[in-house]
Chain A
Amino acid sequence: MPDNIYAVLKDTIQSNDLEQSMHAIGEKRIHFTYCRSIVDQKLIDNEVLHRIQTSNAELDDVHALIRVIPLENTKASSDVDEIVQRLIRGFLFVQLEPDLHEGLLIDVADLKRGYRSNNEADNEYSVIGPKAGFVEDLDTNLNLLRKELVSEHLRFEEYIKGSLSQTRVVIVYVDGICNPDYVDTVRQRIADADFDVVFDSSLIDQVITDNANSPFPLYISTERVDRAKYCLLSGQVAVLSGGSPYVISGPSTVFDFFASPEDYYLPWVLASFFRCIRFMGVAFSILASPFYVAVLTFHYSVIPQELLGPIIESRANVPFPPLIEVLLLEITVDMLREAGARLPTKVGQTLGIVGGVVLGTAAVQAGLTSSILIIVVSLSALSSFVTPIFKMANTIRFLRFPFIALAAAWGGLGITMGFLLLIGHLLRLKSLGAPYLLPMFPFRIRDYADSFIRSPFSMTNYRQRYLRPLKLERYKVSKQKDRSDDYNHE
Chain B
Amino acid sequence: MKKISITSDNYEFLEKVKQLSGEPITLCDQCGTCAGSCPMISEMDISPSEMLRLVQLGQEEVLDTKAMWLCASCFTCTVRCPRGLDLSKIAEALRQITLRKAVDQIDIKLISEEELSRLPQIALVSACRKFTG
A and B held together in a complex: no
Q: Give residues in B with beta carbon < 8 Å to A.
A: none
